[in-house]
Amino acid sequence: MDFNVRKLACDAGLFFNRAVQFTEEKLGQAEKTELDPHLENLITRADGTKNWTEKILRQTEVLLQPNPIDHTGARIEEFIYDKLDKKLPSRTTNPELLGQYMLEAAKEFGPETPYGSTLITVGEYQKRLGGAEQEFLQTSAATFLSPLRNFLEGDWRTIAKEKRLLENRRLDLDICKARLKKAKQAEAKAAAAPDFQETRPRNYVLSASASALLSEEVDKAEHELRVAQTEFDRQAEVTRLLLEGISSTHLNHLHCLRDFADAQATYYAQCHHYTQELQRELSRCANAAGAPPSSSSSSAAACPGPVSSAFLPGQSPPEATASCPGTQLPVTGSRKAKVLYDYDGHDGSELSLKADELITVYTVPGMDPDWLVGHRGNEKGKVPVSYLELLS
């Protein structure tokens, strides 16, 4: 118990001395040891990295989840699961929820009515848009948000701890410098005092004893200064090595940023493709509804039911959709194309694609301008133009 009390008193005294030294430095009443310019630059760079990483992280979270206090309690739920070290369950996105409401409304209004069938079509596409958003959120969280958060909660905490320790070592060094300076001044003052050897022998003995004590105090202060300087130099080297690792952090965040941009591009390309499909589906159905009775059979073949081209992933497309491609028409102008993103064909008329592969594409008279016919080996089918980079 006595040891703990003494240790507590020693720590309190050390803290007080550092506080006094820090205050005097701020007031210009004490000298301050300046850090090496290279180390100062590393600290400035690290502080900037930490501050901007925090801002980018927060704003990306706002971008991915604009309203933190919505019906799902998204951010709060994410925080709780993260602290409990548990996997966050996938939540329903707003487009998915909207699509579900539309499907339920269609059941009540009647799926055979024009409004009900259109609700089904739009609802299915909303669910597909929600699925694309779900994938974008998961990819962004894994490839971008997590690395930024890991840096702030891991590497930066270690760096901040060593920086605080370096500052304490610097204050201890400056305290020792000030103590040695005062001891030397006291020794010099005592050496310059008048000598009482002849008139007062006793006073001479006392003066010699005080001089010895002052000399001993100088030796002690010099020893403490050497120890403080060694500890400061060692801590400066440890801190420097950690701060130089910020370059690796920047490189890692660069890769993460590219992954985020790729995920965002894929997401917007999918949304563009789905919305274009939805517009074409609604246009075909509107044309079929307004066609004369004599052409009703051909219109029905050209315009499948509202759910046929908006089926969910994993569902098989209706047979009517497979009869839609116009691959028997004459070819006009084939050329090579590079696939930008993965694409899963939604039915037998479409060709599934893998990113970065090369395929041959061409168009046919009367074909939708947003689509081309793709050819890869023995496989052939429709491919969306937005997923391709046409080569010369």
What's the 3-state SS for 137-172?
HHHHHHHHHHHHHHHHHHHHHHHHHHHHHHHHHHHH
Q: Tell me the angle at which helices 246-289 and 201-244 cross, rounded to the nearest 10 degrees.
A: 30
Please give the pLDDT value at position 5.
59
- Residue 2 to residue 351: CA distance in whole angstroms: 81
Beta carbons within 10 angstroms of residue 239's beta carbon: 24
Q: Is the dihedral of CA 341, 344, 346, 349 positive or negative?
A: positive
Q: In a structure prediction context, what are the per-residue pLDDT tens digits for the chain, which is 392 residues long?
A: 445 656 666 666 677 777 877 787 777 777 788 889 999 999 999 999 999 999 999 999 989 887 655 544 555 556 565 666 666 566 788 899 999 999 999 999 999 999 999 999 999 999 999 999 999 999 999 999 999 999 999 999 999 999 999 999 999 999 999 889 888 888 888 777 655 444 455 555 546 677 778 788 888 989 999 999 999 999 999 999 999 999 999 999 999 999 999 999 999 999 999 999 999 888 887 776 654 443 333 333 334 443 333 333 433 333 333 333 333 334 456 889 999 888 888 888 899 999 899 999 988 887 888 889 998 988 899 998 888 988 86
Beta carbons within 10 angstroms of residue 371's beta carbon: 23
Distances, alpha carbon 25 to alpha carbons 34, 88, 227, in Å: 12, 50, 22
Please give the pLDDT value at position 25.
74
Token reading at 84: 């409990």
Please give the pLDDT value at position 203.
53
DSSP letter for 22, please. Answer: H
CB 272 within 8 A of CB 387: no
Q: Which residues of 112-131 are buried (b: 16+ CB within 10 A; e: fewer)?
A: eeeebbbbbbbbbbbbbbbb
Give strand pairing partners of 380.
375
pTM higher than the cut 0.85: no
- Residue 155 to residue 142: CA distance in whole angstroms: 18
Please give the pLDDT value at position 315.
38
Q: Which long-range contacts (CB under 8 A, 24 or more apart) does 274-280 make?
A: 274/125, 274/128, 274/129, 274/132, 275/125, 275/129, 276/370, 276/384, 276/386, 277/125, 277/309, 277/310, 278/121, 278/122, 278/125, 278/310, 280/368, 280/370
Please give the pLDDT value at position 104.
95
- Residue 39 to residue 116: CA distance in whole angstroms: 69
CB 324 within 8 A of CB 351: no
Please give the pLDDT value at position 292.
45
SS3 353: strand
| Domains, the chain, with CATH or none | 31-265 (1.20.1270.60), 321-392 (2.30.30.40)
- 371-376 and 379-384 strand pairing: antiparallel
Beta carbons within 10 angstroms of residue 174's beta carbon: 21
